[in-house]
Chains A and B, each alone.
Chain A
């Protein structure tokens, strides 16, 4: 392990090149994306050793080595594409073997791939985390990465390592090193207390952002992840606010005598689109992210809301009941050329354009249930991914392969929780939150 020490100093999280090129791309191990969980790949994730067990702000490096492996294994398992072996129940790897695995032993575990690594405390208080991926049967290294992090950000190094493995084996983009902002809920159904909260995509590092005195709804990340746009009933005057994550300050973005809601950033972060209701007619507007006079984009009788930009910013998908029921429409970003794209039975709502650009996720209402589905931006290839009584409000992972949404349950004790599902529709799971949760918005990959 030859890590260029000169690069350790500055960045909070730096990706280091280890010097060796990754193995050729025709490796034998590959994850079957389309198959979903039908045939997940066995992958060994042993504890990451440390060259010397020292205390850090995040605990002893020996304990961190275990925790890092646990986070990596958990990420890979949650993707639905892997069945991790370890760190519990597999052999400890001596530090000297981190870059020279005992392939014979790992072949005996039936693992097809192997993630090894190490954690080292540096003199300047940072940690270096090494991450190596091997093809067990071919006995070759597939890729390696190193990360330098502050002890407080050790989980990010694990997520980056898991992203390295996932990307190399699946061919998909990374998404584990990302966060979700959502509305934490508690209290009786008729008077829910709602607070903005933020967490890592695996539910860790949970933090409340607002105190619950006012109803808050529909938070969405800014593309630069510095701020969140959302709707608040502060002073019983519902309006659109921007929350600055760094300072904790909130500023009013749009308030009108009329109701304003459903805000979302443009991909370049310069604009916020939102809906405004006037005289029983709701249209979509855009306003500069720094405020100012809104410009109207739609002008049709009916409720036009739920606007979401295409990743290149050139188009907007939205829902409208202009035909009589909620349906999805795509228009140019200036409001021109509005075309209906949903024609199935039932209602289509809450569209969200994939960051990959290839799909639009939505809530489909019909037959007494709300379900999450996807279709192409031209309206073809519709596929429903979830099947429950009250699934609503999909939001895409940074790589466009997973959706988070909320699932409401019925009755007087009904509540909502945050869930995720991938494009196979097979891997549906709840994201752990301290209280109930709704309106999740998945942020971009962290830099």
Chain B
């Protein structure tokens, strides 16, 4: 059913995901409300002076280059800047294999509502596929598209649109 697009990154990610899925044991999500314990705190500054719990959403925010990658107009290509951000996310996620994330895909307001839902889905998938290609089990990642329903920047100008064309990785707690 699923069709591969011509985008090389997507194709590569799918192959990588399939390979990983066979090798990796099933990772159980943390119980609701439970604080995720770090499985490998060594060398990562397990308890920082600020009281951030390793493996937590806060830790993620402080540890990665950004929780958000941005996209060009009507595009879901992962550009070099997005790649380095997602690399930092992948590295953190590999450190905490019990942590699950959801990736929210968004579009700017200069697209029609339904098209933007599909476009937001493409962006969330592109980020998800990239993380999977970097060894994060696809079973740990869910995606959701908000289309143009949840803009980050509220202006109707190019700089706001650029901020709103995004995929945001959110640690589930």
Contact = CB atoms under 8 A, between A and B. Distances in A.
Contacts of B60: none
B137 interface: no
Contacts of A191: 150
B118 interface: yes
- The main secondary structure of chain A at its interface with chain B is strand
Interface in B152-172: 152, 154-156
Contact of A280 (B10, B113, B114, B149): B10
B10, B76, B126, B154 interface centre (most CB from chain A within 10 Å)? B154
B1 A278 contact: yes
A409 B114 CA distance: 19
Interface residues of A, number: 47
A411 B110 contact: no
Contact of B3 (A279, A325, A363, A439): A279
A349 B113 CA distance: 10
B125 interface: yes
Contacts of B74: 325
B113 A392 contact: yes
Contact of A218 (B10, B114, B126): B114
Contact of A189 (B112, B122, B146, B154): B154
Contacts, number: 112
Contacts of A115: none
Contacts of A363: 112
Contacts of A438: 113
Interface in A300-347: 301, 303, 305-306, 319, 321, 325-326
Given A259-B118, A278-B2, A280-B121, A439 B110 contact: no
B6 A282 contact: no
B125 A217 contact: no
30 contacts: A189-B151, A192-B149, A194-B149, A217-B149, A218-B114, A262-B117, A275-B118, A277-B117, A277-B118, A277-B121, A279-B2, A279-B125, A280-B76, A280-B126, A301-B3, A301-B6, A303-B118, A305-B118, A306-B115, A319-B115, A325-B74, A326-B112, A349-B114, A390-B109, A392-B113, A393-B113, A412-B154, A414-B109, A414-B156, A438-B113
Interface of A: 188-192, 194, 215, 217-218, 236-238, 259, 261-262, 275, 277-282, 296, 299, 301, 303, 305-306, 319, 321, 325-326, 349-350, 363, 365, 370, 390, 392-393, 408, 410-412, 414, 438-439
Given A238-B145, A349-B114, 20 more contacts: A190-B152, A238-B117, A259-B118, A259-B121, A261-B114, A262-B114, A278-B3, A279-B3, A280-B126, A296-B1, A303-B115, A303-B119, A305-B117, A305-B118, A349-B112, A349-B115, A350-B113, A370-B112, A412-B154, A414-B154
